[in-house]
Structure 1
Amino acid sequence: MRQLKRVLIVFGVILSYILFIGIFFTNKVMYIRKKTNEEILEREMMLGHYKEDVYMKLPKKELTIPSPFGYNIYGEIIDVQGSNRYMIFSHGVTQNTLNSIKYMNIFLERGWNVVLYDHRRHGKSGGKTTSYGFYEKHDLKAVVDWVREQASKDAVIGIHGESMGAATLLMYAGGLEDGADFYIADCPFSDLEEQLTYRLRADYKIPKQLIMPIANTFLRLRDKYSMRDVSPINVIENIENPVLFIHSEPDDFIPMMMTQQLFEKKKGKKQLYLAKNGMHAMSYSENREEYEKAVDEFLEEIGHGKEEILS
């Protein structure tokens, strides 16, 4: 009887551990804390990326695009008269369209139309969970499809993504359809499970064997996908259209190595810009001239440079 009691106690402890880890970890993943508008604007204003008087004068039009998952995707379009070129911006996790303004400015100055949108569960878009590209890639497809429907047949469409947004565009282009004419992937992770494993080691010194099997099981039960399903490195070879990869060398949140791996595995036209300064998602903020030069050289190489824009 005592032995049975001990077995039950041990079983209860193990079950409690599994439940705690599974629910705690997946809550952190699915319901990651989002930054407020005030937090984002304070940072962007401090860095000189956002000037309210300039932004408010832009010819913006709000967009509401249906997601295939039953909610609405919120966005904005800024039209440049006479342009048939469109840049779509895919922001990072915890952010929203306000975080894309710095990149938007680069392309507005070069005569491109701009489409900003909020990922699911971010900003003004619907959706209950964050999935780091698994569901978000379908929403991006809905945005690209909307632009294609609105634009002329000869329109050029590019997508710029930062961090999770960069991983999302790679998942879209490699896993769903290579539907844009080119892509700019700024500091993407190459594999979600590897990224979370890296963070576990760096932040908590915990080996993945104690967490990942449980977390993957609970994530599949709760949100119907596994971390192994979110892996840009597994689909990158399917992308035929050009990709500019960007990462800052000092980035210690998503290691530069991940972008280098993606670049090496990508077939066809591609370029790589490694910024000397800046932590995660700060390549542009800390290397503005070099960043814009890398973008210009990439656009020139693929036939969408300044001369083509102005002609």
Structure 2
Amino acid sequence: MKIKWMLGMGAGAAALLAAGEYALARYFLRRTLMRGKADNKRTQKMAGTDWSVYLPFMEENRQWFLSQPHEDVYIQSEDGLKLHGTYFPGKDPKRAVICFHGYTSRGLNDYPSLARFYMGCGLGVLTVDERAHGDSEGIYIGFGCLDRLDAKKWMEYMAGRLGEDCELLLQGISMGAATVDMAVGLELPPQVKGAVSDCAFTSAKEVFTSVLKTTYHMPAFPLMDLSDRMAKKEAGYGLDECNARDEVKKAKIPMLFIHGSKDTFVPCSMVHELYEACAAPKDLLIIEGASHAEAYYKDRPAYEAAVRKLMERAFTKGVCEE
């Protein structure tokens, strides 16, 4: 009887542990993948970047950006979502940059400063609201895996709008950069000439594993495995189903990889993995002392010089300046 009792207690404890792990995975998935549950303030706190020093500069650029002529534009994703973007025409009607924002943000939040730089180079700017963000539809955040297909739709839209002889650049920050890196593995429209990847992660699973370890001091197993199965069932993709490291191996356009040396949210080691894996012409810029998504603000001259170099390489003629 005592042995049976002990076995019963052991089985009960195992069942409770499994139930607890399942509940934790469910909570984790809802907080990270579901619209309305993933919180921008929480994300900024975890990322650890102190934006206060840059706020005057950012606000000045935001006011300037929003004062420029622009319009709301929409496309439909392959799975039927209405996706939103904001288009700002440039001096050169045949050139534009398509900008993809970070996790829990939106296009108009992340890009006023960089957009002012790009428009100063004559380019039009399309800021995209990725699925389940901003004014785009969607319940589940795509972490690049779903967004890469949406990104290709945006490229096709811009190529159709500006004409067959136009030249397009891709720019992504954080999750938007992962979107760009994952998208370059697809067969892109010939009008897409280059890509800027700023503080990208390799995959949702790998960056979640890093955050669990560094922020929450938790092991990835079994939480990641459970969350991965839930994501496949509910969101339609696995957390490591599309890995940017594998996709940049297929890249055919020049790429610029940028990262901050002090990024603790998306480890700087990931940019080295991406850079080494990339099969296309490429450059790497590490901004010393920059934390997550801070690179442009920490060293604007170096960032802009690197982007100009990419554009000179990618475009058929020179880049104009204001």
TM-score (norm 2): 0.87
Q: What is residue 173 of structure 2 aligned with on the other side?
A: 162
Q: Which secondary structure state, in structure 1, belongs to the residue aligned with residue 59 of structure 2?
A: coil
Q: Which runs of 5+ in 1 are unaligned?
A: none
Q: What is residue 59 of structure 2 aligned with on the other side?
A: 50
Which residues in structure 2 correspond to 1:65-144 (within 5 Å)?
Answer: 65-97=75-107, 98-144=109-155
- C-alpha distance in 2, partners of 1:138/1:189? 17
Q: Residue by residue, what CA displacement relative to the aligned partner does 1:271-309 show, whole Å, maximum 9, x if unpaired?
A: 11111132100000111111111111222233456x354
Q: Which secondary structure state, in structure 2, belongs to the residue aligned with residue 209 of structure 1?
A: coil
Q: Which secondary structure state, in structure 2, belongs to the residue aligned with residue 9 of structure 1?
A: helix
Q: What is residue 33 of structure 1 aligned with on the other side?
A: 38
Amino acid at match of 1:18: E
Q: Residue by residue, what CA displacement relative to the aligned partner does 1:17-52 show, whole Å, maximum 9, x if unpaired?
A: 23212211211221252438xx9xx96971512335
Amino acid at match of 1:215: S
Q: Is the 8 A contact 1:21 1:214 kept in 2?
A: no
Are 1:64 and 2:74 counterparts?
Answer: yes
Among 274, 284, 291, the alignment partner of 2:303 is: 291
Are 1:213 and 2:222 counterparts?
Answer: no
- C-alpha distance in 2, partners of 1:229/1:242? 25
- C-alpha distance in 2, partners of 1:263/1:157? 21
- C-alpha distance in 2, partners of 1:121/1:81? 32
Query: Which structure exhibits the higher relative contact order, with contacts defined as CA atoms closer than 8 Å and separated by 6 or more residues?
Result: 2
- C-alpha distance in 1, partners of 2:193/2:268? 25
Farther off after superposition, 99-108 or 160-169: 99-108
Q: What is residue 151 of structure 1 aligned with on the other side?
A: 162
- C-alpha distance in 2, partners of 1:236/1:190? 10
Q: Which secondary structure state, in structure 1, belongs to the residue aligned with residue 262 of structure 2?
A: coil
Q: Residue by residue, what CA displacement relative to the aligned partner does 1:202-223 show, whole Å, maximum 9, x if unpaired?
A: 0122222232222212222222
- C-alpha distance in 2, partners of 1:44/1:8? 55
Q: What is residue 185 of structure 1 aligned with on the other side?
A: 197
Q: Is the 8 A contact 2:261 2:286 kept in 1?
A: yes
> Relative to structure 1, is the Cα distance of residues 70 and 270 closer, same or farther in structure 2, using a 3 angstrom cutoff?
same
TM-superposed deviation, 1:142:
1.4
Aligned residues, how many? 304
Q: Is the 8 A contact 1:239 1:267 kept in 2?
A: yes
Q: Percent identity?
A: 22
Q: Which secondary structure state, in structure 1, belongs to the residue aligned with residue 40 of structure 2?
A: coil
Q: Residue by residue, what CA displacement relative to the aligned partner does 1:196-247 show, whole Å, maximum 9, x if unpaired?
A: 1111110122222232222212222222221121310112110011100001
> Relative to structure 1, is the Cα distance of residues 73 and 294 closer, same or farther in structure 2, using a 3 angstrom cutoff?
same
Q: Which runs of 5+ in 2 are unaligned?
A: 45-50
- C-alpha distance in 1, partners of 2:141/2:53? 23
Amino acid at match of 1:46: L
- C-alpha distance in 2, partners of 1:129/1:90? 17
- C-alpha distance in 2, partners of 1:159/1:234? 18
Q: Residue by residue, what CA displacement relative to the aligned partner does 1:64-97 show, whole Å, maximum 9, x if unpaired?
A: 1112222211111111244300100000001111
Farther off after superposition, 7-16 or 203-212: 7-16
TM-superposed deviation, 1:8:
4.9
TM-superposed deviation, 1:195:
1.4
- C-alpha distance in 2, partners of 1:85/1:210? 47
Q: Which secondary structure state, in structure 1, belongs to the residue aligned with residue 57 of structure 2?
A: coil
Q: Residue by residue, what CA displacement relative to the aligned partner does 1:86-134 show, whole Å, maximum 9, x if unpaired?
A: 1000000011112122211111001001111101111111100112011
> Relative to structure 1, is the Cα distance of residues 53 and 22 closer, same or farther in structure 2, using a 3 angstrom cutoff?
closer
